Structure 1
Amino acid sequence: MRLTSFTDFGLRALMRMASAPERAFSTAEIAEEFGISRNHLTKVIQRLARHGFVATRRGAGGGAMLARPASEIGLGDLVRLLEQDQALVECFAPDGACSVTPVCRLKAKLCAAEAAFLAELDRSTLADVALPAPVPALA
Structure 2
Amino acid sequence: MRLTRYTDFALRVLLYLGREPDQLASIAEIARGYGVSQSHLMKVVSDLVGAGYVESVRGRHGGIRLAKPPAEILIGPLVRHTEADFDLVECGSCRIAPACGMSSMLDEALAAFLAVLDGYSLADALARKADFSHLLFVPDESDADTAVAARTDL
Tell me the TM-score range normalised by the shorter chain: 0.7 to 0.9
**RMSD (Å), alpha carbons:** 2.2
Which protein is bigger by CA-based radius of gyration? 2
Measured in 1, the distance between the counterparts of 2:30 and 2:109 equals 32
Measured in 2, the distance between the counterparts of 1:137 and 1:39 equals 20
Alignment of 1:19-34 (within 5 A): 19-34=19-34
State the match for 1:127 in structure 2: 123
The SS at the match of 1:56 is: strand
Unpaired segments of 5 or more residues in structure 1?
Answer: none
State the match for 1:114 in structure 2: 110
Write the letter of the residue equivalent to 1:39.
S
Unpaired segments of 5 or more residues in structure 2?
Answer: 142-154
Contact 1:18 1:70 in 2 (8 A): yes
Aligned-residue offset at 1:54: 0.6
Measured in 1, the distance between the counterparts of 2:132 and 2:19 equals 5
Aligned-residue offset at 1:58: 2.5
**Would you say 1:78 and 2:74 are equivalent positions?**
no
Measured in 1, the distance between the counterparts of 2:93 and 2:63 equals 42
Q: How big is each residue's C-alpha offset from its partner over 1:10-56, in whole Å with a ceiling of 9 and x where there is no partner?
A: 10110110100111111111111111121111111111111111101
The SS at the match of 1:124 is: coil
Aligned-residue offset at 1:67: 0.4
Contact 1:31 1:38 in 2 (8 A): yes
Write the letter of the residue equivalent to 1:19.
R
User: Percent sequence identity over matched residues?
Assistant: 41
The SS at the match of 2:46 is: helix
Measured in 1, the distance between the counterparts of 2:112 and 2:39 equals 32
State the match for 1:17 in structure 2: 17
Report the TM-score when normalising by structure 1: 0.85
Q: How big is each residue's C-alpha offset from its partner over 1:53-76, in whole Å with a ceiling of 9 and x where there is no partner?
A: 110122322221110101011111
Aligned-residue offset at 1:107: 1.2
